[in-house]
Amino acid sequence: MPKQLPITDLLKQSIQDSGLPFIELERQTGVLRQSLMKFVRGESTIHLDAADKLASYFGLELGPASKPKRKGVK
């Protein structure tokens, strides 16, 4: 099973892969371009509300990881 990326890495990758200028992402998501630039460069983190906006914009969902069943447990 491939290892899943941390949500921050997935958001950064989605921002970069979009090819959109930060000003356009700001306009479409409401997340300040300065915050986006610093986040992508690894200079700062983003607030959860900004992560929610970005995840929604890029169609990303966070869900529980499937856990393998333990032996002897039904």
The tens digit of pLDDT for each residue in 14-69 reads 999 999 999 999 999 999 999 999 999 999 999 999 999 999 999 999 888 777 66
- The answer to the question of residue 32 being in a domain is yes
- Measured distance CA(73)–CA(66) in Å, rounded: 15
Range of the domain at 16: 7-58
Q: Which of 2, 70, 58, 42 is nearest to 50 (CA)?
A: 58
Per the domain annotation, does 20 fall within a domain?
yes
Can you tell me which residue has the tokens 């959109």? 20
Q: Would you say residue 71 lies in a domain? A: no
Burial profile 21-31: b = 16 or more Cβ within 10 angstroms, e = fewer: ebeebbeebeb
Instruction: Give the per-residue pLDDT at 74.
Output: 57
Tell me what the mean pLDDT of segment 2-6 comes to: 76
Residue 64: its pLDDT value, please?
A: 82
* pLDDT value, residue 56: 97
Would residue 64 count as lying in a domain? no
Split into its structural domains, the chain has a count of 1
Task: Answer whether residue 13 is part of any domain.
Answer: yes
